[in-house]
């Protein structure tokens, strides 16, 4: 193992509750001398790549910063990441093993006699778990985890066939089905391989170990490239479930082999030899030229992953038709399709996007994986453009629709992330057995390891570099040690209680004093902002933009940011039926919700919609350290509306309900923390009308 | 053929547009002498059974009146029924043949070499079509149709195996799957047989021909009863898709063989030897004791058919636990689950009931078959109780959520019946190919022949008899010639323009003047009503009840009913999210909707929700004979709300939209007539708030 990263001890110390984390306390004084001032040696490239490696991507305006270069210190995300490392990743390993997902590999190498278990995409869950480990190790070695993953990788690699093929489902009697046309549409062979490559690359960037990566390359080089593609002697190819596209581009970035990029482009273009029905083209979000797409539709995760791959392809090729389509789709996303939580996918049927403005709350699908795909896509769009509108989507999804997916104890997960819920309903929902929205295991267990890899990779999303400086995307107590494009070292520390507080102090320390730009993100949700450099206010902060601060920076220069953390009642476009006459409360990046168990007058309020917010009275907020591991809570004046007569389902307008109105205070918690106590009805969107 | 029915000529003459139909014109004067005055001979029982035969059902408070005894004359339903007979039934026959559904039988008897075609339940579509023919023939012979059906029946019967088994799907390689446990849950063998029996009985009651009926009896007697049931040498049984229960009870009613009723009861109770997962129990609505059910859930058609079978079982046994459960479920239906159109089934996923109050409009599933099942169930509940609340549901479903299922030309059908629609959305919906909600064929073509059998059987739903008289359920120009329980003949003619008008004149002519009660239904939607007998007003008419008029009736006594046809704006319970801040307009039994193509300001109204109704101005109605084969239209004062700024999807409450408001008149047509012109956005529930 290399020594560039923090040791586990340091990581844990930083996260163990010290008011002033050790790394932060070191940030003052003569620290500048510690800032490295050298470009990477090519031999060490593997360890200095970011979440994705944009270091040589010609159309990436922003370059990623390696995960290891950013240490998230005690604060909002440290707790979550500690839970991820100590609870989620180990317990998910045990679940995967207990449900036979490793046996699928072991039986192929004579180490298990168990039958094949799980759906066609089961291999990918192992790979995503390895990716989560890989990203974790990028933040500091975990010998136990590393050894566990290494052993699993050994078994995976051993189960690869001599021709490079590797997929534990299509073996034995199912071998003739490999890569047939119908198998390609639903069989997830390329999806599994995409996740293998992503896991292998994350593990390689943490450890330098290429075993799994080389297995992936053998699959591509020996099995896929010779047999599938546009050539006259090759067979048709379709992604089925997009994922392979972004993996191939990342493999190209990692190896420099152009054929991987070209194959990604070929798959994104769609192979005309693969006959697809219109419904398949919609559902799979592949099979026709990506640049023919005009709207988000079909399976939400497929669509998001396809957009990731297409943006990756654009970042390498600069193909303008891709950028145009990606912006068309992004506008569709943000104008018609995204939940206020950053979740996407309105329909359970087909796990799909709905019509424009079709955003039901209780029936919201909002699969955790789709919100993650949304974040991953916007991360790529941000890199391509440097525009803060993409970072706003990342933050919204991250703090809300993704963060909700993992329980506070890290051991159970949401597959769906609805914005309203009644545990007494919905007994038939396969993702809500017995009214439980959080479960330790799903037979389709895509979401849990996806959440784990996301939290493990989080440090890589805080900063980017550009030709003229550095971008600050996310805020939390943290320290970045990295360098500018000219090789000048750069340390940035953040000290903040964000998102409880809107105040963030950045300390900027270049290796050598020099002139460059620090782009600080002004969140789109913050209407009033102040920015001070070394104590002096500077103008120009606009919500939803980066404020460029161009100057000569010297050690310990400070930037004080102050964002507006006033609670904001939000309304939705009138075309969103389910939100009509309702508000959602947001404070900073956090969207809030009401759980019935926190409310007064539980007897009088038959339904959650009987709790009505007063628009004329603002909410108050305070931090409750004893609730849900410490959360902001909101108190919103309102009333409980209890009908005095049961008018039934439909009645003439002339027959008023004459409800009783009881003043009350509505209590809200962050949406991400819902369903961590006893089952209870929940709503994000609160009525403000009594009708 | 027998002579008790109207000839086709008479039927058509009655329906051909004469202002005073021939049958009706004969109703005056010395008609009393024509009224028969004799009880049925047992030899003719087969022709005098109603839609279901309750003549000997001990717990049926009301007895059915045969289809042939009621002639629907020129008016609202005659047009529909003529289209059904002349267009729908013939064209659906051709579709069934063209899609190989008859070939499935023919290949078993060497008349076709085509492979098996269509889903597991394809046989049932043939049987439902035969049932539609059977009911049609009960209203008058159609030699061509009869011969076509007779030939099909011949082929069906010929394809029956020697042990009684008959299902064209489970033959050849699939034969080993017959009635296995998993096949029983999804394989539809008993569902198909249930429809065979219903079709056979309808055809038998029209023609006296027992060929298909005897084939069904052989299946039950030779194949099913010896092998499946509670006995130690019998195997477990589960309906899978309820349907066989009501068919077995009707077979019991038709043959008197108690074993059929007992087997229905056993299936309704659930066979403990069949292991089912909780999700299956919810979805299939069978497999556990029916009397353990506390809510409607799972597949809507399955649930409705199960309720039909359970009510049939109650009608024969009087089991109080069934009646209790049925009322619990009915309360759930009407308080939480029914659309204002009488449709049921909120969710596409699982074609299922949703949570209480989950009644989305655009995403409403509202399968035509489920609305029909709802009507069939309420018909049985009405028979058990004589309570008008059940007739109100029948009328609501019939005029709206069922009637919408067939196009005005009778050649295309809705599978889903949503309450809002945008043809530009939803490209992936398998029931809305290319935005078309009405299609001539679905691979699952359950709805079209179900609609056809319903319209064909409609005369049987107008009246019932009871120990003390006669019940009038539905209103339309018509003539009933039947008898009271004491054998006294009874003719009732209705003269009305219902539902255009709320005035109905009944002429009551008993064979012999006698004392009995005429129960006239006062619709639940009519707040103000007058009832006159021979010109003198009588008190006691209450909405949603039958008004009993007990007196000595003599030839040509008249009852004048006047219902309140004021347009009623309806609101929904606040707990129905999708209807919040919206009204639906109902006039008489008809629910109305807006199609955009009828509206002014189509440019300004970007979405249908931009059309806003004024609550302070009532709608006006008039009949437009030139529109949609003649419909009532409503003109509702309103405004078009067009936002001047696109605020996007979510925005702070403080940032008002400041929309422009343009006065307009909203034009509405009956919901049943929507989507019969160019594709156009549609909504039933119209916003009345501008937020």
Report pLDDT for A433.
79
Split at pLDDT 50, 70, 90, the class of B42 is very low
CB spacing of A576 vs B279 below 8 angstroms: no
pLDDT of A4 strictly over 70: no
3-state secondary structure B428-489: CCCCCHHHCCEECCCCCCCHHHHHHHHHHHHHHHCEEEECCEEEECCCCCEEEEEECCCCCE
Report pLDDT for B426.
59
Report pLDDT for B658.
76
- Are A81 and A15 in contact by the 8 Å Cβ rule? The answer is yes
The beta strands (E) that lie in A286-423 are given as 413-414, 420-421
* ipTM given for this complex: 0.90
Two structure tokens written together for B469: 């008289």
CA A547 – CA A533 distance, rounded (Å)? 12
Q: What is the pLDDT of residues B141-175, one digit of tens each?
A: 999 999 999 999 999 999 999 999 999 999 999 99
pLDDT of B367 strictly over 80: yes
Q: What percent of chain B has pLDDT over 70?
A: 92
CB spacing of A689 vs B689 below 8 angstroms: yes
**Mutate which: B443, B528, B646, B649, vs A, most A CBs within 10 A:** B649
Q: How confident is the prediction for chain A on average, in pLDDT?
A: 92
Task: Kindly identify which residue of chain A lies nearest to residue B435, measuring between CA atoms.
Answer: A355
Q: Which residue has the tokens 């019932």?
A: B464
Instruction: Tell me the shortest Cα–Cα distance from A128 to chain B, in angstroms.
Output: 29
Alpha carbon B390 to its chain's center: 13
Q: How confident is the prediction for chain B on average, in pLDDT?
A: 92
Contacts with B604 from chain A: Cβ below 8 Å = none
Instruction: Tell me the shortest Cα–Cα distance from A610 to chain B, in angstroms.
Output: 8
Report pLDDT for A659.
84
pLDDT of A430 strictly over 90: no
Instruction: Tell me the shortest Cα–Cα distance from A297 to chain B, in angstroms.
Output: 8
Instruction: Tell me the shortest Cα–Cα distance from A653 to chain B, in angstroms.
Output: 5
pLDDT of A203 strictly over 50: yes
Q: Does A614 touch chain B (CB under 8 A)?
A: no
- Are A161 and A167 in contact by the 8 Å Cβ rule? The answer is no
Q: Which A positions 311-340 lie with beta carbon below 8 A of chain B? A: 334-336, 338, 340
Report pLDDT for A432.
80
CA B129 – CA B131 distance, rounded (Å)? 5
pLDDT of B29 strictly over 60: no
Report pLDDT for A429.
66
B57-75: average pLDDT: 98
Report pLDDT for A14.
30
- Are B186 and B284 in contact by the 8 Å Cβ rule? The answer is no
CA B548 – CA B479 distance, rounded (Å)? 20
CB spacing of B648 vs A571 below 8 angstroms: no
Contacts with A348 from chain B: Cβ below 8 Å = 347, 349
- Are B647 and A573 in contact by the 8 Å Cβ rule? The answer is yes
pLDDT of B348 strictly over 80: yes
Two structure tokens written together for A413: 């997960």
CA A586 – CA A524 distance, rounded (Å)? 12
B504-525: average pLDDT: 98
Q: Tell me the sheet residues that pair with B593.
A: B669
Task: Kindly identify which residue of chain B lies nearest to residue A351, measuring between CA atoms.
Answer: B349
Q: Does B303 touch chain A (CB under 8 A)?
A: no
Quickly count: other Cβ atoms within 10 Å of residue A133's Cβ: 30
Report pLDDT for A425.
72
Task: Kindly identify which residue of chain A lies nearest to residue B567, measuring between CA atoms.
Answer: A652
CA A360 – CA B349 distance, rounded (Å)? 14
Alpha carbon separation from B244 to A30, A96, B264, B267, B643 (Å, rounded): 86, 43, 7, 9, 55
Query: A547-551 — which CB contacts under 8 Å span 24+ positions?
Result: A547/A519, A547/A520, A547/A521, A547/A522, A548/A469, A548/A517, A548/A518, A548/A519, A549/A517, A549/A518, A549/A519, A549/A520, A550/A468, A550/A469, A550/A515, A550/A516, A550/A517, A551/A515
Report pLDDT for A16.
31
Contacts with B647 from chain A: Cβ below 8 Å = 573
Q: Does B361 touch chain A (CB under 8 A)?
A: yes
- Are A578 and A360 in contact by the 8 Å Cβ rule? The answer is yes
Contacts with A360 from chain B: Cβ below 8 Å = 360, 363, 577
Split at pLDDT 50, 70, 90, the class of A654 is confident
Q: Does A661 touch chain B (CB under 8 A)?
A: no
CB spacing of A610 vs B574 below 8 angstroms: yes
Q: What is the pLDDT of residues A591-619, one digit of tens each?
A: 999 999 999 999 999 999 999 999 999 99
Split at pLDDT 50, 70, 90, the class of B2 is very low
pLDDT of B627 strictly over 90: yes
Q: What is the pLDDT of residues A76-123, one digit of tens each?
A: 999 999 999 999 999 999 999 999 999 999 999 999 999 999 999 999
Among A643-657, B209-223, B340-354, B490-504, the minimum mean pLDDT is found in: A643-657
Task: Kindly identify which residue of chain B lies nearest to residue A283, measuring between CA atoms.
Answer: B428
Task: Report the DSSP pairing between strands A545-553 and B620-624.
Answer: unpaired
What single-letter DSSP state applies at residue A42? Answer: G
Report pLDDT for A670.
98
B459-477: average pLDDT: 98
Split at pLDDT 50, 70, 90, the class of B17 is very low
A363-380: average pLDDT: 97
pLDDT of A168 strictly over 60: yes
**Mutate which: A433, A641, A649, vs B, most B CBs within 10 A:** A649
pLDDT of A359 strictly over 70: yes
Two structure tokens written together for B554: 């003599």
CA A80 – CA A409 distance, rounded (Å)? 9
CB spacing of B362 vs A358 below 8 angstroms: yes
Give me Rg for the CA atoms of chain A: 25
Q: Buried b / exposed e across B536-560, counting CB within 10 Å, b at 16+?
A: eeeeebebebbbebeeebebbbebb
Report pLDDT for B11.
28
Task: Kindly identify which residue of chain A lies nearest to residue B356, measuring between CA atoms.
Answer: A425
Phi and psi angles of residue B537, each rounded to the nearest 5 degrees, phi first: -65, 140
CB spacing of B352 vs A651 below 8 angstroms: no
CA B661 – CA B199 distance, rounded (Å)? 56
Q: What is the pLDDT of residues A118-148, one digit of tens each?
A: 999 999 999 999 999 999 999 999 999 999 9
A580-590: average pLDDT: 96
Cβ contacts of A10 within 8 Å, gap of 6 or more? A22, A23, A71, A140
Q: Does B657 touch chain A (CB under 8 A)?
A: yes
Two structure tokens written together for A25: 């306390």
Among A360-364, A423-427, A579-583, B436-440, the minimum mean pLDDT is found in: A423-427
CB spacing of B358 vs A578 below 8 angstroms: no
Q: Which A positions 417-456 lie with beta carbon below 8 A of chain B? A: 422, 425-428, 430, 433
Among A572-586, B38-52, B425-439, B629-643, the minimum mean pLDDT is found in: B38-52
């Amino acid at each position: 193992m290399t020594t560039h990263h923090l040791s586990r001890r340091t990581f844990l110390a930083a996260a163990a509750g010290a008011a002033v984390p050790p790394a932060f306390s070191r940030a003052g004084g003569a620290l500048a001398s510690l800032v490295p001032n050298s470009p990477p040696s090519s031999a060490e490239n593997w360890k200095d790549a970011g979440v994705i490696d944009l270091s040589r991507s010609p159309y990436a305006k922003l370059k990623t910063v390696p995960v290891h270069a950013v240490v998230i210190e005690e604060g909002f995300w440290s707790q979550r990441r500690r839970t991820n490392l100590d609870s989620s990743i180990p317990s998910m390993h045990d679940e995967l093993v207990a449900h036979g997902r490793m046996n699928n590999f072991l039986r192929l190498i004579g180490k298990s006699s168990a039958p094949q278990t799980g759906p066609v995409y089961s291999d990918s869950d192992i790979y995503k778990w390895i990716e989560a480990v890989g990203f974790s190790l990028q933040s500091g070695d975990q010998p136990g985890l590393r050894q566990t993953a290494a052993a699993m990788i050994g078994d995976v690699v051993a189960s690869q066939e001599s021709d490079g093929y590797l997929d534990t489902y299509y073996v034995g009697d199912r071998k003739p089905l490999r890569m047939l046309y119908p198998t390609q549409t639903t069989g997830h062979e390329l999806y599994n391989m995409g996740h293998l490559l992503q896991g292998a690359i994350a593990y390689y960037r943490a450890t330098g170990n290429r075993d799994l990566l080389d297995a992936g390359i053998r699959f591509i080089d020996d099995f896929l490239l010779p047999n599938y593609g546009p050539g006259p002697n090759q067979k048709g190819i379709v992604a089925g479930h997009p994922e392979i596209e972004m993996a191939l581009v990342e493999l190209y970035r990692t190896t420099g082999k152009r054929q991987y990029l070209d194959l990604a482009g070929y798959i994104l273009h769609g192979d005309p030899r693969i006959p697809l029905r219109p419904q398949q083209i919609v559902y799979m979000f592949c099979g026709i030229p990506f640049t023919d797409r005009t709207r988000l539709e079909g399976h939400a995760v497929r669509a998001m992953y396809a957009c990731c791959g297409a943006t990756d392809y654009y970042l390498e090729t600069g193909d303008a038709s891709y950028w145009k389509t990606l912006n068309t789709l992004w506008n569709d996303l943000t104008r018609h399709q995204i939940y206020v939580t950053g979740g996407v996918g309105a329909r359970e049927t087909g796990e799909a996007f709905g019509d424009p403005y079709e955003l039901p709350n209780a029936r919201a699908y909002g699969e955790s994986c789709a919100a993650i795909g949304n974040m991953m896509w916007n991360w790529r769009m941000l890199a391509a453009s440097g525009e803060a509108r993409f970072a706003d989507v990342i933050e919204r999804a991250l703090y809300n629709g993704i963060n909700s997916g993992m329980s506070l104890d890290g051991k159970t997960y949401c597959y769906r992330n609805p914005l309203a819920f009644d545990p007494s309903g919905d007994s038939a929902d396969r993702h809500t057995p017995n009214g439980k929205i959080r479960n330790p295991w799903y037979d389709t267990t895509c979401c849990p390891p996806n959440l784990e890899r996301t939290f493990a990779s989080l440090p890589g999303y805080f900063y980017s570099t550009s030709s003229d400086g550095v971008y600050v995307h996310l805020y939390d107590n943290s320290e970045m040690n990295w360098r500018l494009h000219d090789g000048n070292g750069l340390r940035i520390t953040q000290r903040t209680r964000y998102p409880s507080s809107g105040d963030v102090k950045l300390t900027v320390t270049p290796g050598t004093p020099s002139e460059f730009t620090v782009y600080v993100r002004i969140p789109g949700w913050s209407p009033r902002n102040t920015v001070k450099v070394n104590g002096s206010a500077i103008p120009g902060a606009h919500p939803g933009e980066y404020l460029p601060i161009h100057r000569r920076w010297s050690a310990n220069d400070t930037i004080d940011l102050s964002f507006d953390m006033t609670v904001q009642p939000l309304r939705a476009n009138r075309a969103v039926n389910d939100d009509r006459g309702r508000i959602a409360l947001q404070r900073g990046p956090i969207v809030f919700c009401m759980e019935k168990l926190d409310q007064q007058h539980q007897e009088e309020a038959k339904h959650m919609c009987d709790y009505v917010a007063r628009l004329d009275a603002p909410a108050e907020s305070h931090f409750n350290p004893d609730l849900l591991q410490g959360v902001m809570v909101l108190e919103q004046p309102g009333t409980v509306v209890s009908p005095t007569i049961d008018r039934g389902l439909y009645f003439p307008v002339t027959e008023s309900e004459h409800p009783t109105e009881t003043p009350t205070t509505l209590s809200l918690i962050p949406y991400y923390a819902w369903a961590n106590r006893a089952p209870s009805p929940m709503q994000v969107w609160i009525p403000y009308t009594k009708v």
